[in-house]
Structure 1
Amino acid sequence: MVNVSVGDEDYVSILNYFRQCNPGVTMTYTDGHIPSIPTPLFTSTLNLHSTHIDESPVTFPSATTCGLVNGSSPCFSRKKEAQKYAAQQCVEWLGAQGYLVPSASGSHGYTVPKGSAGSGAQDEGGVSTPQKVEQLCRQLNIAVPRYEMQQLDGVGGSLWSGELDWGRDQGLVPEGSGRVDKVLGKKACREQMAMEALAVLQRIEREREAQLAMVMGNQGDY
């Protein structure tokens, strides 16, 4: 048995809260039993499935999401402790990805951002980041970029890299704009690319507004 501490935090309840806030999320534990003397040992992995995060389940612990000890899931003398460890790895990963946010006023010390993992990130008007990109592209008369994504080898969840193809307007954006690497989940990869694209478009919009203001100011001098 590996000496791994899971602390006093109720990670299983935190995940139940996360699932309640995201009806499209499913979680299942897969428990392992290892005969041992004097008492049996237990392992557990947690499969998290959300179509926004990835098309296939993301596994905790795993080589992709971390949490393995010497290349394997650690063993515990109690099944509940093994499940708690798997839940801990999941909670920490969700926090790192921005799907769970620590908060003194939230349930179990966390809050879940609106639209975090069930249906994609949206603003209060229900507009997703890729939709914002399309709208701003039309407004600026810039080609809507194509999301070129490639799946990388991964264990326990798929890793993706991506790059934006701006077509005829490639020269308008800095080289490498919208390029992301080793993102866990295809939809999460697309979302990150869209956020990069939106930042580029907003910068172009500000530059054009500044140029227009300068022209209008110069005309006022005559």
Structure 2
Amino acid sequence: MSYEVSNQPLDGSIDPAIHMDIDRSFLDSCMYLLYFLYLFTWITQQLDYEAKHGAPAPLTDIQRKLLDKLQAALPPPTPILPEPELGDANWVGLLLEYRAARQRVPSNVPGGDFKEQPGPVVYGVQKWHCQVRIDEHSEPFPGPDGGLFPDGTLPSFARKKDAKKYAAKCAVEWLGENGYMPRLNVNSVKSPPVPEQPPTPQPSPARKKQKTVSSPPQNPQQSSPSPQSSEDPESLLPKGIASNFNSDEVSAIFEAERLCTRLGFPGLPRFKITESKMLGFFNGYPDLGALASKLPPGVGHVKDIYGRKAVREKIAEELLEPLNKLATPSVQADKQSRTDSLPVREVELQVPA
């Protein structure tokens, strides 16, 4: 048996060489444990305050911001179920068409009364619920008669538009099941049927190809689909103008670029994006060139935004108000110059004889 003589000094101090050999992960674990104890102690103090005073414990602005970031980074308390399948059918369009044919709904809510509400925040992304009410049923959709998860909770969607589609889908399926409208084959229906187009017999594959080439469409509106046919059929705005988060709304990026062009600075703003300390979060600011001298300093600087697309949209949103204020005088001046340039018609007074 052999023994190794320790080179640790007799005075109890630790040699630096030995100190470097300590497992780094052990030190990190100790540090995290210390953070946890600090946080646990603070939470206990907050709860004691609320129990003693019967009111929420006060929070500083810094504490509130840190808690918001912590909530965004933590997983949800209960697992979020995947979004239900929507299929290819234009559910909102089908419901609108059914309503227009029957006129059984008040004019202020054509197609149904859609109500949107915020859902859970999952890793910094706000999800959405949507329900629709129709005259034929007292309960909304999705609701007790269709569309809820097995545990009775409302499905949530990252896009408001998808939440609205799902609500319309649940209503249309219930109407079909209860005889109010024909049952639909969801695997084949992509948009409401066109009643003017007469049915044609099913051709063979070779004949179908020949007919497609030689036979012109009956009218320009029934021509072959454009290359953008894969986009959402309900989208009212073309890609590049619509927001990445709601295709019914104009993108803040598009609005900011339009205002910069009106002010004589085309090609702006340019976006500078850097990674935040938290995984998946980003910081950013706009490169405004010579236009920066006309705007408040620091405008458009954002921090800790989840996702690259979201940080660009957030920067543009911060720019809209000052850009609009800057563009308003130039728009009024253009209107005045056009008014001044109009020819003045001279009116001769008719003197009675």
Q: TM-score range, shorter-chain basis?
A: 0.3 to 0.5
Higher strand share: 1
Per the normalisation by structure 2, the TM-score is: 0.31
Bigger radius of gyration, 1 or 2? 2
**Could you tell me the TM-score, scaled by structure 1's length?**
0.47
